[in-house]
Chain A
Amino acid sequence: KAGVTQTPRYLIKTRGQQVTLSCSPISGHRSVSWYQQTPGQGLQFLFEYFSETQRNKGNFPGRFSGRQFSNSRSEMNVSTLELGDSALYLCASSGNYGYTFGSGTRLTVV
C-alpha cells in the first residue's frame, strides 16, 4: 500500500506570495489532517478534511486554507506569505488504524 505523498518536498517563496501544497492520502483513507512544525513549537494542528468537508480547524489565521477533492487528495494554501510561515508542513491520513504522516513539505519564506 502506498504511503502518504506530499508534494513538493521543498519550496522557497518570497514574502507576500502565495503557495499551494498537496497531499495524497493512503488509498481508502477519507480523512486528511494538516500540521505545521516549527522549531520549538512541535506540531500544531491546522485543519482536518473528511469527504471534501472541513471538519475541524486549529488556531491559524484565515491566510491558511485548504480543500479536499472527491478522490480524497487535499491541498492547503497559504496566502500573503510571512517569514514566520517558514516551517515543515505535514499531512496525515487516517483510517481505522490511526494516523499516517507524509514526509512533509519544507517551506522557506525569504
Chain B
Amino acid sequence: DQQVKQNSPSLSVQEGRISILNCDYTNSMFDYFLWYKKYPAEGPTFLISISSIKDKNEDGRFTVFLNKSAKHLSLHIVPSQPGDSAVYFCAALAYSGAGSYQLTFGKGTKLSVIP
C-alpha cells in the first residue's frame, strides 16, 4: 500500500507561471515532509521541508503548504523557470523505532517548464 502518493506523473507549465505539485499521504505517524528535486542520472537534492506542526514554509521561489486534516501537501514554485524542469519527489519521515527514522517517497512528478 502506497503511503505517499503523487497522483500526477507529469506537469507542464509556462515559464513565469506558478507550478503546483501535489502530494497525499495516508500514515498519520509522518511528522516531517520533504521535497526533493531530481535530474536524470543524479541523486535527489533536497529542496524544502515542513514540520507537521506548521502549515507553510517558504524559501525563495518555493513554498510548501501542509494540510494535516486532509493529509495533503503541495509545493508551489513561483515564478517557474526552465531550470526547474526535473522530477520532484515528495517524501515523508516517520520514526520507525530503535533510533531510526524512515523516509518514504512518492513516485514523483515530472515538471516541464516551457520557455
Contacts and interface: CB of A to CB of B under 8 A. Distances in A.
B41 A101 contact: no
Nearest to B96: A56
A4 B45 CA distance: 12
Interface string A52-78: 000110000000000000000000000
Interface string B7-36: 000000000000000000000000000101
Contact of B107 (A4, A42, A55): A42
Chain A contact patch, size range? 20 to 34
A102 B41 CA distance: 10
A84 interface: no
Q: How large is the interface on B (under 10, 10 to 19, 20 to 34, 35 or more residues)?
A: 20 to 34
B99 A45 contact: no
Given A40-B107, A56-B96, A48 B43 contact: no
A76 to B, nearest CB: 15
Interface of A: 4, 6, 33, 35, 40-45, 48, 50, 55-56, 90, 92, 98-104, 106
Closest 10 CB pairs between A and B? A101-B43, A42-B107, A55-B100, A43-B105, A56-B100, A42-B105, A103-B43, A101-B44, A102-B43, A56-B96
Given A35-B105, A56-B100, A90-B44, 8 more contacts: A42-B89, A50-B100, A55-B99, A56-B96, A56-B102, A90-B43, A99-B34, A101-B44
